[in-house]
Amino acid sequence: MDKNMFSLEGKVAWVTGATYGIGFGIASALAKMGAKIAFNDRNQEKLEQGINSYKELGIEAFGKVCDVTKENEVKEFVDAVIEKYGHIDILVNNAGIIKRIPMVDMSCEDFRQVIDIDLVGPFICSKAVIPSMIKQGHGKIINICSMMSELGRETVSAYAAAKGGLKMLTRNICSEYGQYNIQCNGIGPGYIATPQTAPLRERQADGSRHPFDAFIVSKTPANRWGTPEDLQGPAIFLASDASNFVNGHILYVDGGILAYIGKQPQ
């Protein structure tokens, strides 16, 4: 076995929305394995925060404002990355949002916005890089899916619909473009400890767990929340030559939640 099969030296990786959280963690890991990083955000302030965060880690990263739901902006971004680095080898479709609203209370506008960013965005970005990947004879597309690609839950109808669709888009990209040595796979994170989920993990006044925190830990055989670092190894695997015959697969990094029926009530 070639010990360098996980190396990303000479590769260029575009990670969408990678200014913080999961996207930043994945991009940082790809950089440590040798990849040059390109990233975008639709917000200038967040973009600048991301640029500073990469600099603090000594990572070479090209950042530009770009809304993944707008084809013209995506095309301009891809052109800029190729002009700077010459090629794009890896695309990680990470940008996404969630709106927790009961379905009957959710407006069509809110539903469409979630679908647009979480599903149409990956379609637009993948469509933008596939032609050059075909031309260069290789490419890796990693879609950040979710446990909601498999499960439903209260208040997340739009998110679950988008992530379920993203699972099938992943399989269809594999089906259409696998013949060109393009691998398209997904990562399905479980519940990850990020600044956004911090309020759900705060201890209560009496020292007990937050009810949602207790619920998640009880449903997870690993008995803890995941971390962005837990997603780094899977991302490196799917971005590297180690996964050249893995295609159309969703790798769930969830501590075992999807395998577990849950504890019997006491």
Q: Are 221 and 210 in contact (CB under 8 A)?
A: no
Cα separation of 178 and 191, whole Å?
31
3-state SS, residue 185: strand
- Choosing from 20, 54, 85, 159, which is the catalytic residue? 159
Residues 166 and 117: beta-carbon distance below 8 Å = no
Q: How many whole angstroms separate alpha carbon 32 and alpha carbon 7?
A: 9
- In the annotation, is 85 catalytic? no
Tell me the backbone φ, ψ of residue 60, rounded to 5 degrees.
Answer: -75, 115
Phi, psi (degrees; rounded to nearest 5) at 121: -55, -50
**DSSP H or E stretch at residue 141:** strand 139-144
Instruction: Specify the 3-state DSSP secondary structure of 161.
Output: helix
Q: Classify burial at 52, counting beta carbons within 10 Å of its beta carbon; exposed 0-12, middle 13-18, buried 19 or more.
A: exposed
Kindly state the tokens that stand for 88: 């794009």
Q: Which residues are catalytic?
A: 159
